Amino acid sequence: MRWIVSGVLVLVAVVHALPLAGVLGAGKLLQLYGVPVQDPGLELLLRHRAVLFGLLAALLGYAALHPPLHRAALVAGLVSVASFLWLWWSTGTTNAALARVAQVDGVALALLVVGAVAHLRAGAAAAP
């Protein structure tokens, strides 16, 4: 079961590492999200967001190799993708790039649910 959780965490780490490219500036952010970023303050915020995604990707990847961190990483990943999907759905507006992000996050959510179930089953199997 542990290898399932580790595999899920690696895959979701890759998903969270992709937005790290946004740190390169407005052009890359446009490629990623299909949203032109003309305000320098908004660009700064989105580039910082890219750095935070990189940190989350690092946590997920590190946790894949350290089973005591599986639970925390699964929760962090679930909060990340579920919150984006909820916000995306609740706004009712989208473009092709954001719809693609939502699709990828939907797959990541499904993987994280599988990982969480495997983690819980492994814990139950280890209990006396």
Q: Annotate 58-123 with DSSP letters as a single string.
A: HHHHHHHT-GGGHHHHHHHHHHHHHHHHHHHHHH----HHHHHHHHHHHHHHHHHHHHHHHHHHHH
Residue-level pLDDT at 93: 77
**What is the residue-level pLDDT of the chain in tens, covering all 128 positions?**
779 999 999 999 999 999 999 999 999 999 999 989 999 999 999 999 999 999 999 999 999 999 999 999 999 999 999 999 999 999 987 899 999 999 999 999 999 999 999 999 997 776 56
Distance CA 125, CA 20 (A): 37
Residue-level pLDDT at 83: 97
pTM of the model: 0.90
Residue-level pLDDT at 26: 95
Residue-level pLDDT at 21: 96
Domain that holds residue 35: 2-126
Q: How many domains does the chain have?
A: 1
